[in-house]
Amino acid sequence: MESVLSGKGLRVLIVTEDERLAQALYDYLTPLGYNLDRASGGTAGWSRGSSNTYDVLLLDMALSGMDGLTLCRRLREEVGVDTPALMFVDGESLETRVLCLNWGADGFLAKTVDMRELEATLRAMVRRYRSQHVARNLTWAGLELDPRTHTVTCDGKPLSLRPIAFAILARLMRQAPGIVTRKDLEYEIYGDFPPDSDSLRTHIHSLRKALQTAGRPVLKTVTHVGFRLEDWPPSQQKKRTAEAPAGA
């Protein structure tokens, strides 16, 4: 809970072409321990937002390539991103601000907002989001994970996992069927200080073996990107593709 109270370690994606705003955010939030990433246009924002995991999104309404409203809606509808999103407005009409909320933003602030208010708003949004998710059981493909009791079952039968494998599975289940990058998994496990060795490989192997033994080979590697959980049982289309003879 400390990170939510202090902001330290929170990952924030800033999508804006306003250099003055971006600089103000970096100058204020970086010393407080926030991990900031920035995209300067809507297309770049889509690329980062759809392939990485953040604690909160800061989106400018006015973006080239894809406006902030469209970016927010697409992240919600097409990728299933439920990360808290705060929209920057600059004189937009009431109708536009209402549309902003209807299309998935959790709130909006003027670009001239005092940075103290903005930072407090960020922490409040993340705090509410986490309080809604921490106590919720996660389910996927017959697996059920209870973060409160630190237990996992597969079709009602207990599944024994080591603590790090449990943390990896929880992260993958929260994102499923989306991809979780290697970088995000390492951050989930080790925070800002990952080991020099590729110990993630060992923990992934342990989790994959446990899932296969339980009859749920759903952990898939996405080459050069990360990992994801697939549907179970496999879709009929995938079955037909797998069963097709070579060269068909």
Concatenating the DSSP letter of every residue in 111-162 gives TT--HHHHHHHHHHHHHHHHHHHHTS-EEETTEEEETTTTEEEETTEE----
Q: At what angle do helices 68-77 and 42-51 cross, to 10 degrees?
A: 20
pLDDT tens digit string along 65-93? 999 989 999 998 888 888 999 999 887 67
pLDDT tens digit string along 187-217? 777 766 677 777 889 999 999 999 999 999 9
Residue 39 has pLDDT above 50, yes or no: yes
CATH number for domain 2-133, candidates 3.40.50.2300, 3.40.190.10, 3.90.78.10, 3.40.1350.10? 3.40.50.2300
H or E element in which residue 227 lies? strand 226-229
Tell me, rounded to whole angstroms, the distance of Cα 96 from its chain centroid: 26
Most confident of the following: 84-88, 93-97, 101-105, 230-234: 84-88
3-state secondary structure at position 229: strand
- Topology at the third CATH level for domain 138-240: Arc Repressor Mutant, subunit A (1.10.10)
CA–CA dist 128, 42 (Å, integer): 27
pLDDT of 214 reads: 95
DSSP 13-52: EEE-S-HHHHHHHHHHHGGGT-EEEEESSHHHHHHHHHHS
Two domains, one topology: 2-133 and 138-240: no
What average pLDDT is seen over the chain? Answer: 85
Q: How confident is the model at residue 36 (pLDDT cuts 50, 70, 90)?
A: very high
